[in-house]
A and B are shown apart, each in its own frame.
Chain A
């Protein structure tokens, strides 16, 4: 996209910049929530988990104020072309960020239960790595947004495959642990929900990256990327589900 000049009405520029600064702030809070939730799980830190749960209110408040501001710009400035896409993408991105925040909060909630149960092998470390990957994807998606970097956004979309693959792996591990000893089932169910939460976060980050592509090109990216989450058709820990 070519670099656009300032608006003749400079107040309009200030409003759009304000909205984008706020969404970066919201993104920062969500990134922190993901990492803190994953760390609290790995280190069995109940206090940190409580902190993540409490911090979600700030994310929700930002979502609300961003949506109000976006509606105000639409009503007062009647944005068109790139300006319109900035406002539309902000509204969609806030929804995605808010959902990621909720998923992180849910992770923290489950962590407070898990610390009372016996640890399941090294799975919490694997989940922390998975969360780290999603957090990096989110950071890059937000950087791509602020720099209007379509190539970086497409790269983020591509990387969601890795998250899907990591999810497949931990899914199989949980099945194995549960088969080994039924006493693992409670913990594994919670851990599995956490894994699914992280996998969903990856999908929301992908959706944010798609908004960046929409913003820069005016078009949604092609929907031809492979879906690598195969757990919905998996029968057992050794089933590769490739026959389907």
Chain B
């Protein structure tokens, strides 16, 4: 009766990787995230969109406890990854961040060689027993980061000497070197040119096969291009969450409609 979907955008029901229930975030007296419930699926790219200050980056940072580093920040509610509450006292934030990798807006390679940029995480987490295993991890990560062919002959060169787009793919390779299960990306392409952006977007699509990817982006076109699920945040509320194709063609909430069509939200 029903034809197969025309695009792979129509995703089937996947396992839930991250489950957030009644999450509140406060910065001092400011209530930055209000009562957010969301189920993020495994092996899916989920985009967070919304105007500046809507809380999308704040919420992204709660997913690997990056907000712990801000003194006045307080998180309430449950965030479960694979059913485990990541705000449980027994959870070590360092271990958590190995499992939930993060890529930032500006490429931030360590002032070390390309090789050491990738090897750093696996070394401190003891993921390699010897040099051969470490070499293996470095090569595998750089290949998955879609940058291996460009750097394989100069692994000893400083990471900071690469172009912006290459640096960002290096940072993505670094984030996946610790074998994370979730990859958080906070505007990973906003400092890149269109070609480098397309390369990173292609990479994100490939990473979807192995990880749950959550991306914050100011570019609605990028959200439409790379994600299968989209969440629209506004004034700290999660206004609408659903299939990306639906959000961009026929959103339910008038606030989502106003925002994505470029009217005042």
Chain A residues packing against B (C-beta within 8 Å): 2, 4-9, 12, 78-85, 218-219
Contacts and interface: CB of A to CB of B under 8 A. Distances in A.
A8 B263 contact: yes
Contact of A6 (B251, B256, B263): B263
A5 B264 contact: yes
Given A2-B254, A4-B258, A80 B249 contact: yes
24 contacts: A4-B254, A4-B257, A4-B258, A4-B261, A4-B263, A7-B261, A7-B262, A7-B263, A8-B262, A8-B264, A78-B221, A79-B261, A80-B249, A80-B260, A80-B261, A81-B249, A81-B251, A81-B257, A81-B261, A82-B257, A83-B261, A84-B248, A85-B250, A218-B250
B260 to A, nearest CB: 5
Contacts of B249: 80-81, 84-85, 218
B235 interface: no
Contacts of B263: 4-8
A218 B251 CA distance: 9
B220 interface: yes
Nearest to A4: B263
Contacts of A5: 258, 263-264
B257 A12 contact: no
Nearest to A9: B262
B262 A81 contact: no
Contacts of A82: 257, 261
Contacts, number: 44
A88 to B, nearest CB: 9
Contact of A81 (B221, B250, B264): B250
Contacts of A2: 254
A2 B261 CA distance: 14
Interface residues of B, number: 16
A172 to B, nearest CB: 38
B156 to A, nearest CB: 43
Contacts of B224: 80
A12 B262 contact: yes
A8 B220 CA distance: 15
A90 to B, nearest CB: 16
A80 B248 contact: yes
A181 B221 CA distance: 68
Interface in B225-265: 248-251, 254, 256-258, 260-264
A163 B220 CA distance: 46
Nearest to A79: B261
B246 to A, nearest CB: 9
A224 B248 CA distance: 28
Contacts of A9: 262
Given A4-B258, A8-B263, A80-B220, 9 more contacts: A2-B254, A5-B258, A5-B263, A5-B264, A9-B262, A12-B262, A82-B257, A84-B248, A85-B249
A2 B248 CA distance: 17
A214 to B, nearest CB: 10
A4 B260 CA distance: 12
A160 to B, nearest CB: 26
A130 to B, nearest CB: 36
B254 A81 contact: no
Residue among A82, A84, A219 with max Cβ neighbours from chain B (10 Å): A82
Contacts of B256: 81
A131 B256 CA distance: 43
A6 B261 CA distance: 10
A226 to B, nearest CB: 22
